[in-house]
A and B are shown apart, each in its own frame.
Chain A
Amino acid sequence: MSIPRLGFLLMALPLAAPAAPPQVHEFTLANGLKVLVQEDHRAPVAVSQVWYKVGSSYEYGGITGVSHMLEHMMFKGTKKHPPGEFSRIIAANGGSENAFTGQDYTAYFQTLERSRLPVSLELEADRMRNLRLLQDEFVKEQQVVIEERRLRTEDQPHARMEEHFQAVAFTDSPYRNPVIGWPEDVAGLTLDDLSAWYQRWYAPNNATLVVVGDVAPGEVFELARKHFGPLKPAKLPALKPQGEVPQLGLRRMVVKVPAKLPHLEMGYKVPSLKTAAAEWEAYALEVAAGILDGGNSARLTSRLVRGRQIAAGVGAGYDLYARLSPLFSLEGTPAQGKTVAELEAALLEEVRRLREEPVAEDELARVKAQVLASNVYQRDSVFYQAMQLGMAETVGLGWRKVEEYVDKINAVTAEQVREVARKYLIDDGLTIAHLEPQPIPEGAKIQEGPEGMGGGHVR
């Protein structure tokens, strides 16, 4: 499965707070595998995640979607285990498992009762280097992925809009490509493409193992050494720079798809924590997203959904942990009787206010209070704690950034928010898309099959 870019609330997680911050234990095997362990003894469970530094932003023209397709094939057998057995073994051990591919990572996870952790590490180590890519399995799984694309993108008006929007907003950054891949690329992938991708990126020196739960760090390190230690490292290719050429002015586009409601999407080119010249800029952008959309009291909901009642729904998002420079995005659906143009004007007005007026102290305090609280709430989930560490490590920031998060957000001032808004939230870096709904043909009367006995009809 692919996961969407994470919005502000989801990102507002990391550590420190009223309770003592959990300690992260770090260890690196001789073959380069990094191991991170965090103890959480509330319940006798452990989550294990293996993160690879590869995702759609590592792909190039013609093979988009190869990272995601390979993720699917990682369940299709090794020299030791036939196709499907990985999942059957995890299931028989009471575990739940899956995987996800993003722009900057591919990750595999299992959640298990703590004594079953060795099962998961043994299987993950096996498929890190010993995958058997079989043609007949590939042919079927390619159809499954094409069905997944139909389900998640083709038949979803907003997802289709988003895909086209990213492709216009970015010129040469690989963020212009969808994680699941363009339709013709997905259909054109071959077993050789997958094999080359696997050989290139799946190795201990390109991966991080994260374990969070009711475990002892020393024991986890020993298990990791036992199962992953014998694996050979790979010679990793040097990463290409893959930047984005400076945008030369406002971009506008229209997306016409069968839909009932219009929709608006806007995005400004901004740096991430990884790409910012100065770190504080990224944290200030994170706070700006919170000022606009951090909770029900934030500006967009209080002013545009309530207040002026221009939007039926509206949101802002910023991906602090992106490996490459992302978008600071705004999106919304106009309220009944309002137009996309009116909503666009209202959002531009909110951005103008961020540029021109310092945010009020009580607004800033509310954003910080929510960051502090959600930092505790997110520790209720072992999965999410592991995810934070894995993501920060995999995009090249290092897991310590997760620990610093609350302090860094607390240090952001109203003046810094205004400064980043002036620098980055400007028309020349902006892309605007309008979804223009096309009629859904009204052949839509229900018909009954041969067994039909009357009664039920859809509308």
Chain B
Amino acid sequence: MSVKRLAVVLLFVLLPLQGVFALPEIQTWTTANGARVYFARTQGLPLLDVRVVFDAGSARDGGQFGLAALTSAVLDTGAGDWNADAIAQRLDGVGAVLGTGISRDSASLSLRSLTQPNLLQPALETARVILAKPRFAAEDFEREKNRVLLALSQREESPADLAGIAFFKAVYGDHPYAHPKDGHVATVEKLTRDDLEAFYRKFYVARNAVVALVGDIERAQAEKIADDLVSALPPGEAAAPLPPVPMDQPAQTLRRAFPSEQTHVYSGQPGMRINDPDYFPLYVGNHILGGSGLVSRISEEVREKRGLSYSAHSHFYPFRVEGPFLMGLQTRNEKADEALNVLLQTLRDFIAKGPSDKELDAAKKNIVGGFVLRLDSNQKLVEQIASMAFYGLPLDYLATYIPKIEAVTKDDVRRVWQARIHPDRLQTVLVGANSAAESAQ
């Protein structure tokens, strides 16, 4: 029995995965008006994926919460000579898929098209005009604003959404990451068409943009496409750096009553940034704690041992500046405090003792062995490359990823987690039935 196990382990050693997978070659250049471009050629399917990403996420809302989101939502509803119907017909007629969306850090336009020239050209031309000449017509603005207002109202049906909003507010205070990216009813109601246009003029500019291209096209064609897409944008200026995240918030536990069968529980603090020097020990550690699905410690303690929750997890969400470290679960109302205690105790144990050799080994095997699964489609590649371009990660980021995972030691994980994650300073939110009553004790 033990001999057989040893044989299996040896097999892993003999098959180093990083040697097997040829990473896609990433090329980069800057357009004449200042937009950075990342390009990877893939072959096998006649399709092209494009992302144009601006530093224009909800962190740029200023006091007008929801401005970045509404600007993004209205952007593709009218441009140049076309109204929303004309744009939709142009894209659907060639089978292209165009979308816009935002995160806290970024606003992006995505396009997927076949590479056949008579299909690709109309799709690219539509995207170009949307970026360069959006109309922000009054009718489109009013309609989209009303739809957003309804969606914000619907958010009040969801204890999970309410808990998430409260969590970000608790962690980030007055920082631009604190408010929900779609804003609040009161702030969106005040937005005007002119606000959107001003936001667009300031942030949708070449020096504030990156372009990512992945698909079956040549470098020369990629250069032309990138140029065409952003050529009509003024150079403008890159957005100013975001303010630092407040790192010393004292612990709070917030409870909100909601007539649901489950209580949603979130607990966490500011986590890490994209270029964080501690990224690898934090990431590998979290894989063990709560980031690897059913085999993680949190899932084992909360779900597998006690049947308390369908989903119990922990994650880092790395942003431009410190994104959150977040642990979460949902459970029947009467078990909320018990489940929260299990969650917190699991975190405290992990920080005090760190991972075991066996856990660290298993986590590395999963991350290293699964690395190729993160890059095995055009869709995943373009997301990865757009993110590298937007955050200015080095071109060898993917090539050095596995060695950096392999280099993480047990001591690294324990030391870094003790320095960075503070169980006595967590922001904890509970939303569910009886939550408020319990807080009186």
Contact = CB atoms under 8 A, between A and B. Distances in A.
A286 B250 CA distance: 57
Nearest to B331: A147
Interface string A346-376: 0000000000000000100110011111101
A458 B166 contact: yes
Given A45-B373, A259-B157, A376-B45, A448 B439 contact: yes
B246 to A, nearest CB: 11
Given A43-B377, A376-B46, A382-B376, A313 B147 contact: yes
A401 interface: no
Given A147-B262, A335-B147, A370-B95, A451 B362 contact: no
Interface stretch (A23-31, A170-178, A231-239, A293-301): A293-301
A380 interface: yes
A147 B310 contact: yes
Interface stretch (B53-61, B63-71, B111-119, B410-418): B111-119
Contacts of A458: 162, 165-166, 169, 254, 256, 431
B306 interface: yes
Nearest to A142: B307
B10 to A, nearest CB: 14
B347 interface: no
Contact of B372 (A43, A295, A443, A451): A43
Interface string B192-219: 0000000000000000000000000000
Given A88-B362, A92-B362, A147-B332, A42 B376 contact: yes
A260 B157 contact: yes
A305 B85 CA distance: 11
B150 A333 contact: yes
A18 interface: yes
A240 interface: no
B376 A45 contact: yes
B273 interface: no
B245 interface: no
Given A88-B295, A155-B159, A155-B261, A94 B377 contact: no
A339 B210 CA distance: 43
B112 A377 contact: yes
Contact of A87 (B116, B256, B295): B295
Contacts of B435: 447
Q: Interface size bucket, A side?
A: 35 or more
B93 A94 contact: no
Contact of A446 (B17, B42, B255): B255
B33 interface: no
B73 to A, nearest CB: 12
Interface stretch (A61-69, A110-118, A221-229, A419-427): A110-118
Interface residues of B, number: 98
Interface string B122-161: 0000000000000000000001001101110110111100
B170 A261 contact: no
A241 interface: no
A297 B305 contact: no
A154 B93 CA distance: 41
Contacts of B170: 455-456
Contacts of B113: 373
Contacts of A373: 94-97, 113-114, 119
A449 B307 contact: no
A375 to B, nearest CB: 9
Interface string B409-428: 00000000000000000011
A245 interface: no
Given A19-B45, A450-B253, A140 B305 contact: yes
Interface in A430-445: 440-441, 443-445
Interface string A235-266: 00000000000000000000000111100000
B376 A453 contact: no
Given A45-B373, A151-B311, A94 B365 contact: yes
Contact of B153 (A258, A261, A443, A446): A261
Given A296-B92, A297-B88, A446 B379 contact: no
22 contacts: A18-B46, A87-B293, A91-B293, A92-B362, A94-B371, A95-B370, A96-B373, A140-B307, A145-B310, A148-B310, A297-B88, A302-B85, A366-B93, A376-B46, A379-B45, A380-B379, A381-B379, A444-B258, A446-B166, A449-B428, A458-B166, A458-B254
Q: Which 8 A-B pairs rank lowest in CB-CB distance, beginning with the nearest?
A: A94-B369, A373-B95, A449-B253, A143-B307, A296-B88, A140-B307, A297-B88, A43-B376
